[in-house]
Amino acid sequence: MSEFAKRTNEFVDWVHTNFQLISSKVKVLDLRSRSQGRGLTAVNDIAEGETLFEFTRDKVINVDSAALTQLNNGENESILIGLGQWEALILCLAYELMLGEKSKWYPYLKILPQEESQFTTLMFWKDEELEYLSPSCVLDRIGEDAVEQLYHKLVPQYCTKLHVPEMIKFLTFKKFRVIGSLIMSYSFDVDHAEVITEEEYENNSSNQDDKIEAAEVEYRLGETKGEESGSDEQGEGNGSEEYDLTECIRNDTYLKSMVPLADTLNANTRLVNATLHYDHEKLAMKAIKNIKKGEQIYNTYGELPNSEILRKYGYIELPSSAAEFVDLPLDLIIDHYKIAFSKAFPNIKNAPAVVDRILDIIKNSDYLEETLVDSDGGIVIDKYEIYAKGELLPEFVLMLLIFSTLLGSFKSDFKWFRRLVKHSKKREFDIFVNRTIVKCYQLLEERSIVTNSFMEDLKNIIIGAINRYPQNIRKGEFHFPESFTLKLSKRDIANIILSDEVTCLKDILNGSFPPVSDTTGKPKYTIIEDEKLLKNVLKRKLQEDERRSHKRRRA
Ligand SMILES: C[S@@+](CC[C@H](N)C(=O)[O-])C[C@H]1O[C@@H](n2cnc3c(N)ncnc32)[C@H](O)[C@@H]1O
């Protein structure tokens, strides 16, 4: 028997001893021939709603259950819950791995990847391989530096604090990176028992949303200062302060946890047929669809595009994930408008600088801060997600509508624009931009209206974004393989990611914006003539012009 099979058997025996229920209809299989490691398969037909396995909360590894927490007369617990979720779980898991056979999870730990060579996530790609992924924004999210900072925060200081000095030697940087990556691709965020109400119990699933939550926390750690979208926790200092700003476990309502067997399930955004549910005492994996004998049981790791699946889990779906999106950097929008302003006002030297002034006003808009509670008050974010089939972030739509409306307004009266951008007219300029922000917001909010200029700007920005991709990808010359295997070259994997991103962008050029609402069957936005909006935005200015010319005539 191979070492792989032996480990699987020992793990399955451990599961049978420790779990309350495990259905005879499921089996852990060796799926290495499909480049999927181990996975769970149905050996008999399973009906929707059937429980595949069930176990008590103490079987998962987290700060509540780990051996490290019990040491030091309970003092370790208060130290660990003062840390962030990632930090505490890395330390707890490292300690269990160091305990080896003495850990109560030993047969489980033995089936987890623990060597760098077992990971295909982006953290382990070489620099020259990562270059294949340019210009994808996934490259900004790998978080290599963040891991290093985290390591230096925890080792040796916390090993000493937690009274495990022997862990200083065990937890090398290499091991730390592996454990962090393991947590990234295997952990679940499990709600505390006390936050689950009876009513929630039946619907409670810790997979999709919790995995998304995990992605967000991890995303924050991966970002460098000032790069991320308007989240409070991020960025007002150097990297190490970033960690201090990560919420500590004490204030969270969930625990990042390693969940045996539940994490043996592979995932697929289209084929998901089981999810993890939990109540006060137990966690249970349940079928969410009828599953036929012989079919693989798939979980979901969240609504992630291929770039994120690769970054966090080291594989991709073919030809694409069901939740593809591409990040459009703010710079592309700003560059587009700087060029447009220069072209529209060739005789005004500082026309491109006006775009920066507008951006500042949008950033500091009190109106948006008060109105957009959900997006932390900001529409100026580093990157805007462009989803497949023409779905755009509302923040992006509003941003473009404001800029295209301002440009149209200024073009309508060149002399007025020249006067307005003079330093002495700063107040007037600010008032006009702020008024435009309010009008555009109201128009979108109340009537979901965009203009022809908006559509034109959108098209040109998207063309600019597509032009950054390699020619073979832009021209659709890359041919997708039949299925994902680890034998695919890194270049091919990168080409698939880039092709998926370009497809999202091309969807817009192919007319999928505005997308159609699932509920009403109607387009989500109405496109109107520019003049209608400009008339509204310029109303006050036109009235003042009128008054002034009236006065002149009288004089
Ligand atoms: C939570 S584990 C799932 C169990 C894993 N297959 C194992 O052998 O331990 C997540 C890892 O499984 C692999 N995986 C999950 N879904 C996959 C899929 N659809 N195709 C290929 N690999 C997959 C990836 O290596 C991923 O990082």
Chain center to CA of 488: 25
| Stated pTM of the model | 0.90
User: Which residues lie with the beta carbon below 6 Å from any ligand 1 atom?
Assistant: 35-39, 185-186, 263-264, 266-268, 313-315, 484
Please tell me the predicted confidence (pLDDT) of residue 202: 54
Closest CA to 379 of 297, 440, 293: 440
Are residues 516 and 525 in contact, defined by beta-carbon separation less than 8 angstroms? Answer: no
Supply the residue whose CA is at minimum distance from atom 20 of ligand 1: 36
Residues 86 and 257: beta-carbon distance below 8 Å: no
Residue 297 alpha carbon to ligand 1 centre in Å = 12
Centre of ligand 1 from the C-alpha of residue 112, in Å: 11
What's the 456 CA to ligand 1 centre distance in angstroms?
43
Dist. CA 11 → ligand 1 center (Å):
17
Q: What is the ipTM of this complex?
A: 1.00
Q: Is residue 470 pLDDT above 80, yes or no?
A: yes
Reported as a single tens digit per residue, the pLDDT across 391-444 is 999 999 999 999 999 999 999 999 999 999 988 889 999 999 999 999 999 999
Lookup: tokens for 45: 């037909």
**Contacts with 187 (C-beta within 8 Å, 6 or more apart), sequence order:** 89, 214, 256, 257, 258, 259, 263
Q: What angle do CA 101, 107, 110 make, to 5 degrees?
A: 85
Which residue's CA lies nearest to atom 21 of ligand 1?
36
Average pLDDT over every residue of 2-16 = 98
Please report the pLDDT score of residue 375 as a whole number.
65
pLDDT > 90 fraction of the chain, expressed in percent and rounded: 78
Residues 14 and 105: their CA atoms lie apart, in Å, by: 9
Measured distance CA(509)–CA(458) in Å, rounded? 9
pLDDT of residue 478: 86
Compute the distance between CA of residue 140 and CA of residue 223 in angstroms, rounded to an integer: 7
Residue 201 confidence (pLDDT) above 70:
no
Q: What is the mean pLDDT of residues 262-269?
A: 98
For residue 115, pLDDT over 70 is answered with: yes
Identify the three-state secondary structure at position 166.
Answer: helix
pLDDT for 212 beyond 60: no
Q: Which of 266, 272, 485 to mutate to test the pocket of ligand 1 (most atoms within 8 A of CB)?
A: 266
Domains of the chain, with CATH numbers?
3-323 (3.90.1410.10), 327-465+514-554 (no CATH)
Question: What are the tens digits of pLDDT across the range 304-360?
Answer: 999 999 999 999 999 999 999 999 999 999 999 999 999 999 999 889 999 999 999
Residue 294: its pLDDT value, please?
98
Q: Report helix, strand or coil for 162.
A: coil
* CA of residue 257 to ligand 1 center, whole Å: 17
| 31 or 374, higher pLDDT | 31
**Ligand 1 center from residue 295 Cα (angstroms):** 16
Q: Are strands 526-528 and 449-451 parallel, antiparallel or unpaired?
A: parallel
Report the range of poorest mean pLDDT among 144-158, 205-219, 541-555.
205-219
| pLDDT band per the 50, 70, 90 thresholds, residue 210 | very low
By CB atoms closer than 10 A (0-12, 13-18, 19+), residue 205 is: middle
Per-residue pLDDT at 122: 98
